[in-house]
Amino acid sequence: MDALYTLGIAEAARRIREGALSPVELVEAHLERIRSIEPSVRAWVSLDAEGARRAAEERLAEVKAGRVRGPLHGIPVGFKDLYHVAGMVTTAGAGSFAHERPNADAEAVGRLRTAGAVVLGKAATTEFAYLDPAETRNPWNPEHTPGGSSSGSAAAVGSGMVPLALGSQTVGSTLRPAAYCGVIGFKPTHGRISCAGLVPLAWSFDHVGIFCRSVEDVALTLQVLGGYDPADPFSVPAPVPDYVAASRRDPHPPRLGVPQRFVEQATAETIAHLESVTDRFRGGGARVEGVQLPPTFERLHAAGMLVVQVEATAYHEARFAGQVRDYREKFRALLETGMKVRAIDYSQALRQCRLFRRQMEALMTEFDALLMPVAGAPAPKGLTSTGDPTFCAPWTFAGVPAMALPSGIAGDGLPLGIQLVGAPFKEADLLATARWCEDILGFKAQPRACHAV
């Protein structure tokens, strides 16, 4: 049973459908893993072990009766504690002044349940998905940050406590912790997955994020989650392709563009690693060349952060007015800044982000994906910072799909990752490219926590 926690989603789901694996055994293996690893990683805010066991028993009975709910039947899953899960408190990483007790699931939670997933619990987040850190530690080295804001989701998957977890990304909150924790992180086009039932940070940029261990696992999850939801005003009624087929088709060597601006901002070790990865990709037949980003890129980060300031303030305004001291330092400063922004500046900032996205659409006709580091360095030491999100932010502000793939180990033993960026609503093409890259990289390393007993 101890080895069951290493199974990916696709393999575990296949065994369950075939009757070769009991959902009960799978859930128990992960609960035992949590008992072993959680004291040192601190990824979870709350667990529903008994509820998970009951759900696993139901999934087992359904398989025996010849019924399978969907592609995630019997798969354990965790949720960043911004997601409303019926019957569980939503803390949003904040004090009790902000806790909510929902009686209905977020849309993404409901879709995973319908597909047969088993809810294990809620994973830690920074306060309101911003910069004030959670207590979670990096499973590769507990003296280093796991990243944020989806700290617990990344660390839980990275240490084998759950094979699938959802997070969110408004700046760099899925891909960065995924890279720091040595797992895959994925965010789709803005509006592809409903954010209804999540505590927002900034509606214009909030994305559902997926953490797992293979590109095929991303595809299976996206197939379940993707699609229009009228309850989310930012949801887009675009057709949903067959992502699973895209991830399984014979991949061809891709055309990859490397934005030199990002390479120049990385450490020497990260640059050397990217060059090594690029050489391997070229050796496999890929076309890799440098690319210049549109001129609007220079003003994009400032514009995007201004939008975050204003929209976070709009959501928290009523509560903040009477509870200023309850908010932690960094998020409080964000709201105080947001209150001073002029409406005309907010409007111009949104326009800047949308103009960059339009220019990126034109650029992406020349490439299957852009290739760059996820961050300028491995996870920094210390737990007072969640790391630098600026390598991920442009693609969030543009609302285009992006993925972090683990790609190597740094000299200090921490994981390194590459970032692949695609064109809007071309997730299927990005998955196919990522599968090719995944095969070339062949990353199999596990963190120190994963060897504990």
Residues with catalytic roles = 80, 149, 173
Decide if 29 contacts 120 (C-beta within 8 A): no
Q: Which residues pair with 418 in a beta bridge?
A: 373, 405
Establish how many alpha carbons lie within 13 A of residue 392's alpha carbon, considering only the half-sphere containing its beta carbon. Answer: 35
Element (H, E) at 158: helix 151-158
Task: Please give the full DSSP string across 171-189, using - where no structure is assigned.
Answer: SSTTHHHHHHHTSEEEE-S
Q: How far is CA 103 from CA 88, 302, 449, in A?
A: 8, 38, 35
Q: Does residue 74 contact residue 10 with C-beta atoms inside 8 Å?
A: no
**Token digits of residue 286:** 């890929």
Q: Which amino acid is at 355?
A: L
**Two structure tokens written together for 284:** 């496999």
Distance CA 363, CA 96 (A): 46
- Nearest CA to 291 out of 399, 405, 402, 421 is that of 421
Stated as kind and residue range, the H or E segment containing 429 is helix 427-441
Q: 255-259 and 207-212: which strand pairing?
A: unpaired
- Stated as kind and residue range, the H or E segment containing 291 is strand 287-291
